[in-house]
Amino acid sequence: MIPRMLERQIPGRLGDGKAILVQGARQTGKTTLIRNLLEGREKVLALTGDEALTRQLLTDPDLARLRGLLGGHAVLFLDEAQRIPNIGLTLKLLVDHFPDLQILVTGSSSLELADHVHEPLTGRKWDFPLFPISWQELEEHVGAFEARRQLEQRLVYGMYPEVVSRPGFERDLLTQLSGESLTRDLLSYEGLRKPALLGRLLQALALQVGNEVSINELAGLLQAGRGTITSYLDLLEKAYVVFTLPPFLRNRRDEIRSTRKVYFWDNGIRNALLGGFQPLELRTDTGALWENFLVSERRKLLAYQRATARLGFWRTHSGAEVDLVEERDGRLTAWEFKWSSAKRASCPAAFRESYPEATFLLLNRDSFRGFLIAAPDES
């Protein structure tokens, strides 16, 4: 078991009358996380939305049924909650009428939870996203030296818990994860009517990691409507498969405004979709893998810090660009990503002119650690 950063954060939110929601992609360790947190606790009722009886009992129940179900339990652990119709209203009843009950909920995607939990539970919950293993979690588990030794493998095979903990089985595990398991919730979602299109969209996004993505171009490439592509991309984000990075801009007229970049939460999933597990020395996409790794790991770190930050890429129509810009706590920092430690980079003059207050840094394989590790008082 690889210790997770949420194990240090969630206990401080227990017992305050709010539900704890842990959401993320399948196989990221949500169930294991909650079970570890509840180990040794008494009067725990554990239910799963995968079970038909649970779905029957928790779909539109009345208070009498809930009291009978809970009995004398002090803790309710509800796993795979997104499978239960109208679960948001049920959880609202539980929070409002059983103030001494600690509720912990997991969902393998935010699809149904986003639609049916967040509005009813406004002010009644704490949200915690759980991602594949973060770089900081890996370092804390195996040590900084061993984590650095694994860097090239992590760029190829990613950071899913079972992939990290079972070396030698990475390809089989990722092939399974990137197949039906990855999109199981999506395929049952009523708004998704073209599963074959979803697969083609995923492959197109995998090929464009690190490049700007145009919805119009994707629609033309995949011969689908712009609205359909936008909707499917939104679903992939809600399922924690990908996330988008908008352009960073203020008022400069020649800054790019209309495109976005799309990254995968895990390099291994991206490579599995393309069937490409070659070592770095045989690849032509090392730069894209490095960029996807750094941006996704930074997003994980900020999420676990519960930090408020604005992220984006910067580019002008004339081609000047910066890989990542972050505005946080009044500070502006820009980074250029280079895998090779021999390469150099300088801040584009147009960026320096527009953002003279920004700090500009180069991140390569020898200098990235501080970018992905929280300070002791931030972890």
Query: Model confidence over 325-362: pLDDT tens digits?
Result: 999 999 999 999 999 988 888 999 999 999 999 999 99
Return the domain boundaries, the chain: 6-129, 135-372
- Give, in order, the Cα–Cα distances in Å from 127 to each of 299, 302, 307: 16, 14, 13
Q: How confident is residue 181, by pLDDT bands cut at 50, 70 and 90?
A: low
Contact 304, 6 (CB under 8 A): yes
Statement: residue 115 has pLDDT above 80: no
pLDDT for the residue numbered 257: 78
Beta bridge partner(s), residue 362: 336
Contact 366, 341 (CB under 8 A): yes
pLDDT higher for 127 or 114? 127
- Please give the backbone phi and psi of residue 299, each rounded to the nearest 5 degrees, phi first: -60, -40
The answer to whether the Cα torsion of 130, 136, 142, 146 is positive or negative is positive
Query: Model confidence over 69-101: pLDDT tens digits?
Result: 999 999 999 999 988 888 888 999 999 999 999
Q: How far apart are the C-alpha atoms of 121 and 115, rounded to whole Å?
A: 11
The SS3 call for residue 334 is: strand
Does this chain's domain 6-129 share its CATH topology with 135-372? no
The total of other beta-carbon atoms located within 10 Å of residue 343's CB is 12
The SS3 call for residue 253 is: coil
The pTM of the full predicted model, rounded to 2 decimals, is 0.93
- Domain 135-372 sits in CATH 1.10.10.10: yes
What amino acid is encoded at 326 in this protein? E
Q: What class, spelled out in words, does domain 6-129 have in CATH?
A: alpha beta
